[in-house]
Chains A and B, each alone.
Chain A
Amino acid sequence: MNLFQLALRNISRNAFRSWTIFLCAFYISGFALAMMLIVHGAEQSLDLANQRLGADILVVPNGSEQKVETSLLMGNPTNVWMPREVVEKIARLPEVESISPQLYLATLTNAACCSVSNMFVIAFDPQTDFTITPWLEQRLGRALNPGEAIGGMYVFTPPGEEGIKIYGTFVRLMGNLEPTGTGLDRALFISFDTAYDIARNSRTRAVEPLQIPDNSISAALIRVRRGNAAQIVSMKIEQQIPEVTAIDSPELFLSYRNQINGLAEIVWMVLAIALVLSIAIVDLIFTMAVNARRREIAVLRALGSTRRSIFFSLLAEANLLAFGGGMAGLALSALAVYLFRNLLVSSLQMPFLLPSLPELVFVLAIGILVVLAAVSISVLPPALAASRREPALAMRE
């Protein structure tokens, strides 16, 4: 029998007290972790999407920025067009280092033309592209040939088929990009040539042809020359070419970021309130429990237990419970977030990416430390009072 075992016995004896502390730790840590994973996952997702685009400025037709952002993040295709000459105009600006146009296409919903319905297809210009091409060089060692494609993380060739059918044409999937947690994971990337080939062929091979308006593009990605602020360059672009909207990269997905930040604020507030409430509840319950054990504690003192060891064994009791509850809460919530990640994305309408294992472990460790600190704070006053009480007085009560 040692003090640790004594603490364990006390835990099993006082079920109400024990469950209260356990459950407080369980709910707080579980809720905190779930919220942190969601908020952090969404933020990381946005950052990765930004990185994937790899542009300082995204230029889209006037008024379509919301649509384009939603497409990029959630993966539902969009259909926006602006004149191709926009590219030449922007390229003439001295601050612009490179500019690359893109076409945003879509497969049809529930149509025989295509393997995947309503898929977001992005066509890029291999001549100027700086987003997909570096990845291709690294992984494939060459550019895409006509009829070849690269997919986001979750794009795959239907089993038994030679490729992904788009408007009657099969394209061969040559590889997958790393996940971003956004709609880009479900998008297909093809070259301009492939896109125009598909459009041409679709007139004979598909019931409904793929329409790509002449001399039009959907968006353009811009890299700014060193030493120029993207914000100022995008203002300049908008001034000179009124029919487009230029979004510099910090502004990209801003509405989503604001939404996430708003959510995060509410979550932190609710958590703070819950934490304060739990501290108060645990303090109350523990004070009651310690009062009920006054005599017993006095007896322990009479048998030779020091104030210090009384204090620390009470603290140990509470922390053991909090550790158990906290671990259970964290484990369950991590599991729930993992299992329901897809549901989360569709119901919250937010991008989401699971953290890497080291990140998760780090967050879990922080979570446990916070729970232990909170419990220690709550039981500190009663534990201190109980250890300081004069044994002779405590015995009389």
Chain B
Amino acid sequence: MLISLKDVVKIYAPAKEQPVRAINGLSLEVPRGDFVAILGRSGAGKTTLLNLMAGLTRPTSGEVLVESANLWSLGDREQSRLRNRKIGFVFQFPSLLPSLTALENVALPNTFGKRLAGDEARVRAGQLLEMVGLTDKRNAFPRHLSAGQQQRVVVARALMNQPDILLADEATSNLDEQTEQEIMTLFQQIHAETGVTIVMVVHSSYLVRYATRSIQMANGKILSGD
């Protein structure tokens, strides 16, 4: 199993506020090669679930395993390396580094892992930009790109280190329908071509058709899954 969550509970306890059970005893297995769509109302715990899968937040109880390695028994260095090599991220918010060009942003994950030499990294980043249709924007800074173009750069960046898992959080919610369709098709194509496992939070049920499987969440639990 590529990702497994066992009885995971995540309680946020902000100062001076009621604690929130964002994830409430959730278990889930994602086999290699799946394209899972996650649905749920705002506050259902979708983002928290993705963050747990990547080790970006520590579960209050329960276990998160990636390729049978318990994320929280790893030290920061191993955990970071795992994130760097195995997981690609598409965030809910704009996440390109403003001081880097599109190409540099795409190549960024290689900086932390150093699997490719500088030239090779640039070549690969260039190929990825070509794949997302932005060859002509390789030297543009994020502020000169449209929202859809930025998101495509983010997708290219997520693929830079050839990850096993692609985690995408409402990658298309800020985009118009046409662009949304383009990006979703892009994910589908990537899934078909590379076999990467995708876990994607989607904001409406009509996007489920791009995935191979969908999960409905509410109150930090899985309501149904097929």
A and B physically associate: yes
Given A9-B99, A307-B76, A2-B57 contact (CB < 8 Å): no
Number of interface residues of B (CB under 8 A): 32
Given A302-B83, A303-B109, A392-B56, A308-B77 contact (CB < 8 Å): yes
A243 to B219 Cα, complex, angstroms? 103
Are B56 and A304 closer than 8 Å at their CB atoms? Answer: no
**Interface flag for A208 (CB, 8 Å):** no
A240 to B193 Cα, complex, angstroms? 109
Complex interface: stretch among A140-148, A272-280, A293-301:
A293-301
Q: Chain B contacts of A307 at CB under 8 A?
A: 76, 80
Are B80 and A306 closer than 8 Å at their CB atoms? Answer: yes
Are A308 and B112 closer than 8 Å at their CB atoms? Answer: no
Are A302 and B89 closer than 8 Å at their CB atoms? Answer: yes
Taking the closest CB of chain A, its distance from the CB of B158, in whole angstroms, is: 9
Q: Please tell me which one of the listed residues B57, B97, B99, B157 contacts residue A392 in the complex, with CB atoms under 8 A apart.
A: B57
Chain A window 287-328, contacts with chain B (Cβ cutoff 8 Å), 1 for yes, 0 for no: 000000001101111111111110000000000000000000
A395 to B98 Cα, complex, angstroms? 16
Are B80 and A305 closer than 8 Å at their CB atoms? Answer: yes
**Interface flag for B63 (CB, 8 Å):** no
Taking the closest CB of chain B, its distance from the CB of A388, in whole angstroms, is: 10
Are B58 and A1 closer than 8 Å at their CB atoms? Answer: no
Chain B window 52-63, contacts with chain A (Cβ cutoff 8 Å), 1 for yes, 0 for no: 001011100000
A305 to B95 Cα, complex, angstroms? 15
Most chain B beta-carbon contacts within 10 A, residue among A1, A12, A13, A308: A1
**Interface flag for A390 (CB, 8 Å):** yes
A309 to B212 Cα, complex, angstroms? 38
Within 8 A of B (CB), among A370-397: 390-393, 395
A393 to B58 Cα, complex, angstroms? 11
Are B77 and A306 closer than 8 Å at their CB atoms? Answer: yes
In the complex, residue of chain A having the shortest beta-carbon distance to the beta carbon of B96: A299
A8 to B19 Cα, complex, angstroms? 41
Chain B window 82-113, contacts with chain A (Cβ cutoff 8 Å), 1 for yes, 0 for no: 01110001010101011110001001110111
Given A1-B100, A304-B109, A305-B80, A299-B56 contact (CB < 8 Å): no
Are A306 and B76 closer than 8 Å at their CB atoms? Answer: yes
Given A307-B76, A308-B77, A302-B56 contact (CB < 8 Å): yes
Are A6 and B57 closer than 8 Å at their CB atoms? Answer: no
Taking the closest CB of chain B, its distance from the CB of A137, in whole angstroms, is: 68
A19 to B26 Cα, complex, angstroms? 50
In the complex, residue of chain A having the shortest beta-carbon distance to the beta carbon of B157: A303
**Interface flag for A3 (CB, 8 Å):** yes
Chain A window 332-351, contacts with chain B (Cβ cutoff 8 Å), 1 for yes, 0 for no: 00000000000000000000
Taking the closest CB of chain A, its distance from the CB of B101, in whole angstroms, is: 9
**Interface flag for A10 (CB, 8 Å):** yes
**Interface flag for B70 (CB, 8 Å):** no
Q: Please tell me which one of the listed residues A10, A308, A309 contacts residue B99 in the complex, with CB atoms under 8 A apart.
A: A10
**Interface flag for B41 (CB, 8 Å):** no
Given A302-B56, A392-B56, A1-B99 contact (CB < 8 Å): no
**Interface flag for B216 (CB, 8 Å):** no
Are B99 and A2 closer than 8 Å at their CB atoms? Answer: no
Q: Chain A contacts of B161 at CB under 8 A?
A: 304
A304 to B76 Cα, complex, angstroms? 10
Are A303 and B76 closer than 8 Å at their CB atoms? Answer: no
Most chain B beta-carbon contacts within 10 A, residue among A9, A10, A301: A301
Are A295 and B85 closer than 8 Å at their CB atoms? Answer: no
**Additional pairs, 14, CB under 8 Å, beyond known A2-B111, A302-B83, A303-B157:** A1-B118, A13-B99, A295-B93, A300-B112, A302-B56, A302-B91, A303-B84, A303-B108, A304-B81, A304-B113, A304-B161, A308-B76, A390-B56, A395-B51
Q: Chain A contacts of B77 at CB under 8 A?
A: 306, 308
Q: Chain B contacts of A10 at CB under 8 A?
A: 99
Taking the closest CB of chain A, its distance from the CB of B191, in whole angstroms, is: 21
In the complex, residue of chain A having the shortest beta-carbon distance to the beta carbon of B121: A1
A3 to B122 Cα, complex, angstroms? 16
A288 to B57 Cα, complex, angstroms? 24
Q: Chain B contacts of A300 at CB under 8 A?
A: 108, 112
Chain B window 153-174, contacts with chain A (Cβ cutoff 8 Å), 1 for yes, 0 for no: 0000100010000000000000
Most chain B beta-carbon contacts within 10 A, residue among A298, A303, A395: A303
A59 to B32 Cα, complex, angstroms? 98
Are A1 and B85 closer than 8 Å at their CB atoms? Answer: no
Q: Chain B contacts of A305 at CB under 8 A?
A: 80, 84, 111-112
Are A390 and B57 closer than 8 Å at their CB atoms? Answer: yes
In the complex, residue of chain B having the shortest beta-carbon distance to the beta carbon of A309: B112
Q: Chain B contacts of A13 at CB under 8 A?
A: 98-99
A13 to B95 Cα, complex, angstroms? 16
Q: Please tell me which one of the listed residues B57, B84, B107 contacts residue A391 in the complex, with CB atoms under 8 A apart.
A: B57
**Interface flag for B127 (CB, 8 Å):** no
Selected A-B contacts with CB under 8 Å, 5 pairs: A1-B104, A1-B111, A13-B98, A299-B95, A305-B84
Most chain A beta-carbon contacts within 10 A, residue among B91, B93, B112: B112
